[in-house]
Amino acid sequence: MSDEFGQEQAIRKLGPGRLVIASHNPGKVREIGELLAPYGIETVSAAALDLPEPDETGTTFIANAELKAMQAADLSGLPALADDSGLCVEALNGDPGIFSARWAGPSKDFGLAMQLVWDNIAAKGPDAGHDAHFVCALALAWPDGHVEVFEGRVDGTITWPPRGDKGFGYDPIFQPHGHAISFGEMEPEKKHGMSHRADAFRQLVAAVF
């Protein structure tokens, strides 16, 4: 990262101890915990600490990840890691994008969200493409306000109807390039090796451990 004068600063390392996962999404907390497990980090979720969910007012994945991580670190007094991720469909001009969770409504009904994605693609007509990608922004924040950010991506296509009951969110309708199955059909170990979140985590691990 750069300081206010545009000079590069050394990336801060993450030492042993507890780390808050700044999310109330059980699937996301589980997946992040599995990715961190090999590094001996003790994780605790924001929900377990009864931390509030901030309003995601950022206009990018990175901005939203930063505000979630910084709030959790400030309130808990511990380093905090936040993920902001979403599905971007080219035919829908990048939607649902940063609003991916909101498309699921207040009840977090991703069956509804997946149907909305498909209905919106269908409304574009038979020539609408199905290209899509997942983006994951990770922000690692410390209680003193320092933050490091990383962003990963995986490309694929939208498939219908939804397939598989693994993963979470939009996974059942996303088929990554080079594979014949959806993320919803993919074993966690395989997904962890190639997903947008795995891409961002590889960058984080190389930088802070």
Q: Which residues are catalytic?
A: 84
Strand partners, 155: 133
In whole angstroms, what is the distance from residue 171 CA to residue 19 CA?
26
Strand partners, 8: 2
State the residue for tokens 């020539």: 127
Q: How far is CA 22 from CA 61, 162, 179, 206, in A?
A: 14, 28, 31, 21
Q: Write the CB contacts of 120 (distance below 8 Å, at least 6 apart in sequence).
A: 89, 92, 95
What is the 8-class DSSP label of residue 98?
G
Contacts 24+ apart (CB under 8 A), 4-12: 11/148, 11/207, 11/208, 12/142, 12/146, 12/148, 12/208
The distance of Cα 98 from the centroid of its chain, to the nearest Å, equals 10
